[in-house]
Amino acid sequence: MAKKSAKHSVIDAFTDSAFNGNPAVVSLLEERDEEWLQAVARGFNLSETCYLT
Domain boundaries, the chain: 7-52
Strands (E), 1-53: 7-13, 22-28, 49-52
Predicted confidence (pLDDT) at residue 2 exceeds the cutoff of 70: no
> Average pLDDT, stretch 48-53?
90
Predicted confidence (pLDDT) at residue 53 exceeds the cutoff of 60: yes
**Does the model's pTM come out above 0.75?**
no
Predicted confidence (pLDDT) at residue 43 exceeds the cutoff of 80: yes
Confidence of residue 1 (pLDDT cuts 50, 70, 90): low
Confidence of residue 15 (pLDDT cuts 50, 70, 90): very high
